[in-house]
Amino acid sequence: MKQNSLTIEQELKLVKNVIDGARKPLSRSDINNLLSIDITEKTLQRRLKNLVVNLQVTTAGQRSALKYMSLVESKEVLSKNIENAPLSDNLILSQESLEKLTVLDSPSYTRTKVPYDMTLLENYVPNKTRYVPEETAFKLRALGKRFNNKLAAGTYAKDITQRLLVDLSFNSSRLEGNTYSILDTEKLLQMGEAANGKFDEETIMILNHKEAILFLIENAEEISVTPFVIRNLHQLLSQDLLSNSSACGKIRQIEVKITKTSYMPLNAPQQLEELFILLLRKANKIEDPFEQAFFLLMHLSYLQAFEDVNKRTARLSCNLPFIQENLCPLSFVDVPKDDYVKCLIYFYETGDHMPALDVFIWAYERSSHQYEVVERSIGVIDSYRIKYRSERKQAIGKIIRGMIVGDEVQVQLEQFCVENLIQNADKFISIATVELDKLHSGAIVSLGVTEKLFLTWKDKFDATK
């Protein structure tokens, strides 16, 4: 007979070892049979839930078909599925969702007109109502988790900024019908070269995405899901694109219609303002980042609070919780426009979010795989950089305030390292030197210097190069 006189921690370790060692998904009964200790079914169930919640293992299937697997196994299975599977509706949408979407096969003018349904928002209770099932959120978190330690909000996004700018700008614009290729997008964002030499609406759309994404990344530690933040995000995305420039970042005062749907958005400005605030108050209370992201994606698109650029605002807003929690961002890589639009329209007309959830899950899995590859190409996060981030800001701020340039910069940095007992001073100085060289007025808010002071120093600094 199996013996068991272990602590909870020891039991958890044994259960995890069984799952990790199997290298294949195991049912609860499989795990119990492989354990060297005697444990009741309810106790095992609690231990497994603990491991899943704390992202030690992940799951596949549901209810009686539920199986457990190691995170390594889960990621390997996902990678093989993504690399080998063709892009098709069947890969993204369940059979049930495909059947639901057939109601959209008839022309929109033959479908019953549907007004905005306030109850979808009013009946939603943060942290009780769920669009993203808990098990699904656990799996996605396991795929998207990038750090074991608690680092400053936005750390991961900053590490992959250049790739994220291209991917998210390109794919979000593509879903709007933008014809820029990914190579043209990269040239525009990195070298300022517009396709065909034209600064037209498509070019502006992509440049606006860049500004908006940088706003989310650079301010991740200070912003949250509030009306102020979302309206400013809309302003950045819509600038120079709306015929009425004062409508950028402002709740619309005019009636709007959406093509290819029988949905009729709400057209009462005061109600729109109230619902916009209610939507974001509820969103801000949602604790799970995946539930919060999906809620924002759906409800900001559905409310149509702005004259235009609502879906773009929703796509970038839904990345805020991922950026803040250092999870893999959602860049909508390879998401077919037709599937995305159909699922949104289906939600508009029926209030059923399930087809859109299929797309969201698939898109997040795809993005997670994408940035695992990016991570391998750029290397891992340098913990030394993170550890001494505050000290570097102090040193750089001191150099700017002292108008120190030329060879004196190295002397000042060496002295700072001695005074502040900085370990591996050479590495600290090399990182700070590069940061000083790349510093611009859009990145000085945490240095304790004014823009005027910085620009005066910058002129002197550049003159000594």
Last residue of a domain, one of 309, 344, 378: 378
Strand-pair partners of 173: none
Residue 77 domain-assigned (yes or no): no
Q: How confident is the model at residue 388 (pLDDT cuts 50, 70, 90)?
A: confident
Residue with tokens 């995890």: 16
| Rounded Cα gap, residues 25 and 27, in angstroms | 7
Is the CB of residue 208 less than 8 Å from the CB of residue 236?
yes
Is the CB of residue 381 less than 8 Å from the CB of residue 148?
no
Same domain, 272 and 404: no
Residue 29 sits in a domain of what CATH number?
1.10.10.10
Sign of CA dihedral 127, 130, 134, 137: negative
| Of the listed ranges 7-16, 63-72, 158-167, 221-230, the one predicted with least confidence | 63-72
| Rounded Cα gap, residues 146 and 389, in angstroms | 19
| Res 94 pLDDT > 60 | yes
Q: What percent of the chain has pLDDT over 70?
A: 88
Q: Report the pLDDT value the prediction gives residue 89, as an integer from 0 to 100.
A: 40
Q: Report the pLDDT value the prediction gives residue 149, as an integer from 0 to 100.
A: 53
Same domain, 295 and 334: yes
Q: Report the pLDDT value the prediction gives residue 180, as an integer from 0 to 100.
A: 93
Q: How confident is the model at residue 382 (pLDDT cuts 50, 70, 90)?
A: low
Last residue of a domain, one of 311, 345, 378: 378
Is the CB of residue 108 less than 8 Å from the CB of residue 398?
no
Same domain, 252 and 320: yes
Same domain, 312 and 163: yes
Same domain, 101 and 18: no
Residue 367 sits in a domain of what CATH number?
1.10.3290.10
Q: Which two three-digit tokens encode residue 177?
A: 């019908």
Same domain, 296 and 373: yes
| Res 317 pLDDT > 80 | yes
Same domain, 264 and 322: yes
Each residue of 245-273: pLDDT tens digit? 899 999 999 999 999 999 999 999 999 99
Each residue of 111-147: pLDDT tens digit? 999 999 999 999 999 999 999 999 899 889 988 887 6
| Res 39 pLDDT > 90 | no
Look up residue 57 and give its DSSP letter. Answer: E
| Rounded Cα gap, residues 334 and 366, in angstroms | 8
Residue 1 domain-assigned (yes or no): no
| Structural domains counted in the chain | 3
Sign of CA dihedral 357, 361, 362, 363: positive
Q: How confident is the model at residue 427 (pLDDT cuts 50, 70, 90)?
A: confident
Each residue of 154-176: pLDDT tens digit? 778 877 888 899 999 999 999 99
Each residue of 348-373: pLDDT tens digit? 999 999 999 999 999 999 998 877 65
Work out the angle at residue 384's Cα, subtended by the Cα atoms of residues 379 and 385, and round it to the nearest 5 degrees: 75
Residue 99 domain-assigned (yes or no): yes
What is the extent of the structural domain holding 455?
A: 383-463
Same domain, 368 and 387: no
Same domain, 357 and 451: no
| Res 81 pLDDT > 60 | no
Same domain, 315 and 437: no
Q: Report the pLDDT value the prediction gives residue 437, as an integer from 0 to 100.
A: 84
Each residue of 17-30: pLDDT tens digit? 888 877 678 888 88
Look up residue 318 and give its DSSP letter. Answer: T
Same domain, 388 and 373: no
102 CB-near residues (< 8 Å, 6+ apart): none
Give burial (CB, 10 Å; 0-12/13-18/19+) of 292.
buried
Mean pLDDT of 307-327: 95
Last residue of a domain, one of 338, 363, 378: 378
Average pLDDT, the chain: 86
Mean pLDDT of 261-288: 96
Residue 344 CA from chain centroid, whole number: 19
Residue 80 domain-assigned (yes or no): no
Each residue of 213-237: pLDDT tens digit? 999 998 988 889 999 999 999 999 9
Same domain, 352 and 249: yes
Residue 67 domain-assigned (yes or no): yes
Instruction: Give the 3-state secondary structure of residue 174.
Output: helix
**If residue 239 lies in a helix (H) or strand (E), which one and from where to where?**
none
